[in-house]
Amino acid sequence: MFAPSPRLRSVKNLERSSGQSSPAKASVSGSLTVLGIDPGLTRCGYAVLQVQGNTDISLTSLGVLRTKPEDELPARLAEIAQEVDALLDQYQPTAVAVERIFFQSNVRTAMSVGQVSGLVLSAAARRGIEVVQYSPNQVKLAITGWGGADKAQVQKMVKQRLKLNTIPKPADAADAAAIALCHIASSPLAMKIADSVAAKK
């Protein structure tokens, strides 16, 4: 039985640990709220972005879900699953965007990232939330216009797109923000649907 993680008891605590500060707000009618996830077992980056209209993108929250390498794998996966559930319950995103990882020589790392990705995909699907996976090249292309961009170039564009004073940190959180921005750039139809639903209410 796992107690709620202290990191998800307070949005302020999450934002202080990530070095970013933004007002917390749940999904509202006529908006698109995207939870971006950069999956990882030791560090799982997340970012919550909200779009009003076609260009007004605001950063609601971002940070990193961490587990201890010395803990047993089932306990670590359970902790991440619980924290992802808490994020979904708190922010009620319209969509969840997850990086699709293609790797790598380290089979153990690939397996752990795949396990975390599966937890996130399942959690979103159980709630009927749209969930989409994007490759690293798709994210780079959507953010910078070039699929061969390096991490520093992507982070610089994330800072610019979100109108931040500094590049989001840690890097896993910045990657999650890039994934969420990729989904927003790829989803003009989703915004039209959200606006249409709001207009009918």
DSSP string spanning the chain? --PPPGGGT-HHHHHHHHT---------TTEEEEEEEE--SSEEEEEEEEEETTTEEEEEEEEEEE--TTS-HHHHHHHHHHHHHHHHHHH--SEEEEE-----S-HHHHHHHHHHHHHHHHHHHHTT-EEEEE-HHHHHHHHHS-TT--HHHHHHHHHHHTT-SS--SSHHHHHHHHHHHHHHHT-HHHHHHHHHHHHH-
Does pLDDT of 3 surpass 70? Answer: no
> Which pLDDT does position 154 carry in this prediction?
95
Work out how many domains the chain is built from and give that number. Answer: 1
> Which pLDDT does position 192 carry in this prediction?
55
91 falls within a domain: yes
16 falls within a domain: yes
Q: Give whole-number Cα distances, 162 to 3, 87, 120, in Å.
A: 34, 20, 24
The predicted-structure confidence for 34-48, as pLDDT tens digits, reads as follows 999 999 999 999 999
Query: CB neighbours of 155 closer than 8 A, spacing ≥ 6?
Result: 167, 168, 171, 174, 178
87 falls within a domain: yes
124 falls within a domain: yes
- This prediction has a pTM of 0.79
Catalytically active residues are: 38, 99, 172
Mean pLDDT to the nearest integer, 78-106:
91
Which CATH number do you get for residue 175? 3.30.420.10
43 falls within a domain: yes
1 falls within a domain: no
Lowest mean pLDDT among 18-32, 73-87, 109-123: 18-32
State which residues form the domain around 23.
6-200
